[in-house]
Amino acid sequence: MNLKFRLPFILLVVLTIVSACNNGPKVISSSKQNENSEKSTGIFSEESSSHTHTQSNQLLSNEMHEVLVMEILPTTKYVYLNVKENDKQYWIATRKLDIKIGETYFYKGGLLKTNFESKEYNKVFDKIYLVTSLVQANHGGSSELNIPQTEQNINKKTTTNTKQIIVKSGSIKIAELVENYKKYEGKTVQISGKCVKINPNIMGRNWIHIKDGSKDDYDLVITSNTFVKEGSMITIKATVTLNKDFGAGYKYDLILENGIIIP
């Protein structure tokens, strides 16, 4: 072949071979994406130095569980609970709470983890369920209406610093609401007070416990789609409901529903 035509022909052959190699099977390097794809229940979103990585995770259905606490292992951030549900006994972990052995609690959903090691107890849990929120069985039944205004009740010291509460125009006192609850049934009222406790994201609601210094022996609960921090001073509008039973221990003689925070 003439040298003039041989060089272009050789170059064409080389380019064809290179192109064929590039179109062949590709080797994909491993990625850490799967390692970081674990879903979290919220309070366990940050890895603690006390725990090792688990081998498997499984999100559970959002059904309600009723459990009896058999054993408690507290840690700096969380609490491990050995619980009994019907004829089944297992471990769950939740945020640090005042839990008592022998009492009944409710929770929804959870994240199943296997081979979960606690270095604080030098213990490996074959299976443990990470639970965002645990609620006492008698959560809604601790307060009663029409508490007699005896001398003892009147002189009782309150725990809320009422000087810190900014009462906005239109707010009524909790004492007024409790003492005249039938008058306010079905109506929208406005309350100013301190959030002393909140149970977030249960049954699609945030459960806000509020006090204003006027009747702090009564545990007034307001449901809302808005999350507020415990200890914050708020003004909120909500509808007064009587004799409400949500199930799972959420039963109230008096509750305020669909609360809207007033800025």
Q: What is the pLDDT of residues 144-156, one digit of tens each?
A: 444 333 333 333 4
| Residue-wise pLDDT tens digits, 31-43 | 333 333 334 344 4
CATH topology classification for 57-136: OB fold (Dihydrolipoamide Acetyltransferase, E2P) (2.40.50)
Residue 185 has pLDDT above 70, yes or no: yes
- Of 202 and 53, the structure prediction assigns the larger pLDDT to 202
What is the residue extent of each domain of the chain?
57-136, 163-261
Q: Is the pTM of this model over 0.85?
A: no
Question: What is the per-residue pLDDT for 46?
Answer: 41
DSSP, residue by residue, the chain: --HHHHHHHHHHHHHHHHHHHHTSPPPPPP-STTTT-----STT-SPPTTBPPPS-EEEPP--EEEEEEEEEEE-SSEEEEEEEETTEEEEEEEE-----TT-EEEEE--EEEEEEEETTTTEEEEEEEE-S--EETTTT-S--SS----HHHHTPPPSS-GGG----TT---HHHHHHTHHHHTT-EEEEEEEEEEEEEEETTEEEEEEE-SS-TTS-EEEEESS---TT-EEEEEEEEEEEEEEETTEEEEEEEEEEEE--
In sequence order, the β-bridge partners of residue 224 are: 206, 259
CATH topology classification for 163-261: OB fold (Dihydrolipoamide Acetyltransferase, E2P) (2.40.50)
Residue 129 has pLDDT above 60, yes or no: yes
Whether the CB-CB separation of 214 and 180 falls below 8 Å is answered with no
Do the first three CATH levels of 57-136 and 163-261 match, i.e. the same topology? yes
